[in-house]
Amino acid sequence: MAGSNNLKPTPPRWLLAELTYACPLQCPYCSNPVDYSKYPSELGTEDWKRVLSEARKMGAVQLGFSGGEPLTRKDLAELVRHARGLGYYSNLITSGYGMTEEKIVQLKEAGLDHIQVSIQASTQELNDHIAGTASFEHKKKVAHLVKKHGYPMVLCVVIHRENIHQMPEILAMAEELGADYLELANTQYYGWAHVNRDLLMPTKEQFEQAEAIAQAFKEKVAGKMKIYYVVPDYYEDRPKACMNGWGTTFLTIAPDGMALPCHEARVLPGLDCPNVRDYSIEQIWNESKAFNFFRGDAWMKEPCRSCDEKHKDHGGCRCQAYLLSGDMYAADPVCSKSPDHHLVDEAIASARNSALATDEKPLIFRNSKNSRQLA
């Protein structure tokens, strides 16, 4: 567990507990690893409780229960109760599929603070197509139940080429459902979204038009609904400070117990990500090779190394650098200063050509069969 530098890390603040890779939906933009079928074993209840306790003891305050679909775990309410006892602010990140009124009551009694429901589109036809499962009407009912039981209504819609034309209708749907918060998350190209990038990436014109509509709506509903607009990396010229800096804030635990500095870290070669079955959270966070790998800036190459913005963006996203250029130490190619920036332009051009093609390939949906084929 020897670390690669001597910086004293600040403790984790956010813990993302990916309880399971099981999911009744099949969204082709899912950020879960494409080869998730290789990791079928899930941590048991007692291991999760220990993880929650150890991370809280170190200073974690925010907890997200996600997946897959966390509602498929029978012990969800028990884990929520444990989290409440430890003093976490807990958030359930769910598709809503499988939620019932009885379960909401149970989770509320257990002390869950927050529920975020995702919806795929503004029409049943498109929602059910993208989700790969008939779920639209049920999701709308769940949105009402969330409000009825005194939670803020937090709606998340992932935006891509298949639904971006529905922006006005998506906004109207959010208003109709009484959303207090609406997250419009332009697709980030990791996991399944990376595989489907040519089919999911909107053109710059589509993106700008949708953004203008969302901005105008934001002003109209100011004070009633808060809108978070997650911009697509590929149309930016500076990279995001991914994870707020590697190993500074976020700790993700995958369903099989692997501890990850970001949700995509499994793709990076040679990290040797540790497993909570073998090490304590404190050992993992402070001492493991994986969590120390990109801490600080000693790992940086040019142009990041001498860049006056390096403390702002930390060189961008390591996984994006690797997925685009094959070099995880490279500057994130999203950055216009990166010598690999042309790769982003090429990806945009490739998506545009794919949209214009008469024989566009079909989307690859996230399911076990496809995962086994792609693994």
> Between 79 and 118, how does the x/- string for binding to ligand FES read (CB under 6 A)?
----------------------------------------
CA distances from 104 to 63, 80, 89, 158, 160 (A): 18, 12, 17, 24, 30
- When asked if residue 317 is in the footprint of ligand FES (CB under 6 A), the reply is yes
- Closest to 67 measured CA to CA, from 116, 125, 138: 116
The annotation status of 262 as a binding-site residue, yes or no, is: no
- When asked if residue 314 is in the footprint of ligand FES (CB under 6 A), the reply is no
Q: What is the spatial distance between Cα 361 and Cα 199, in angstroms, rounded to a whole number? A: 8
- When computed from its CA atoms, the radius of gyration of the chain, rounded to whole angstroms, is 20
Q: What is the spatial distance between Cα 22 and Cα 66, in angstroms, rounded to a whole number? A: 11
Least separation in angstroms between residue 330's CB and ligand FES is 12
Least separation in angstroms between residue 259's CB and ligand FES is 13
Name which position in 73, 197, 295, 318 contacts ligand FES (CB under 6 A). 318
φ, ψ dihedrals at 66, nearest 5° = -140, -165
**Contact in structure between 113 and 90 (CB atoms under 8 Å):** yes
The annotation status of 30 as a binding-site residue, yes or no, is: yes
Structure tokens at 324: 């685009």
Strands 89-94 and 114-118, bridge-based pairing = parallel
- When asked if residue 242 is in the footprint of ligand FES (CB under 6 A), the reply is yes
Name which position in 15, 243, 273, 330 contacts ligand FES (CB under 6 A). 243
Stretch binding ligand FES (CB under 6 A), from 84-92, 129-137, 217-225, 315-323: 315-323
54 or 264, CB closer to ligand FES? 264
Least separation in angstroms between residue 291's CB and ligand FES is 12
- When asked if residue 284 is in the footprint of ligand FES (CB under 6 A), the reply is no
**Torsion angle of C-alpha atoms 217, 219, 222, 228, degrees rounded to 10:** 60
43-62 binders of ligand FES (CB under 6 A):
none
Give how many residues touch ligand FES by CB under 6 A. Answer: 8
Least separation in angstroms between residue 256's CB and ligand FES is 18
17 or 115, CB closer to ligand FES? 17
Q: What is the spatial distance between Cα 260 and Cα 282, in angstroms, rounded to a whole number? A: 13
**Contact in structure between 276 and 51 (CB atoms under 8 Å):** yes
Name which position in 17, 300, 319, 343 contacts ligand FES (CB under 6 A). 319
Structure tokens at 189: 């190209």
Q: What is the spatial distance between Cα 40 and Cα 48, in angstroms, rounded to a whole number? A: 16
262 or 284, CB closer to ligand FES? 262
251-270 binders of ligand FES (CB under 6 A):
262, 264-265
Stretch binding ligand FES (CB under 6 A), from 4-12, 148-156, 304-312, 313-321: 313-321
Burial grade of 308 (CB within 10 A; 0-12, 13-18, 19 or more): exposed
Strands 259-260 and 250-253, bridge-based pairing = antiparallel
Least separation in angstroms between residue 254's CB and ligand FES is 13
- When asked if residue 194 is in the footprint of ligand FES (CB under 6 A), the reply is no
Residues in contact with ligand FES by the rule CB under 6 A: 242-243, 262, 264-265, 317-319
**Residues annotated within a binding site:** 23, 27, 30
**Residues annotated within a binding site for [4Fe-4S] cluster:** 23, 27, 30
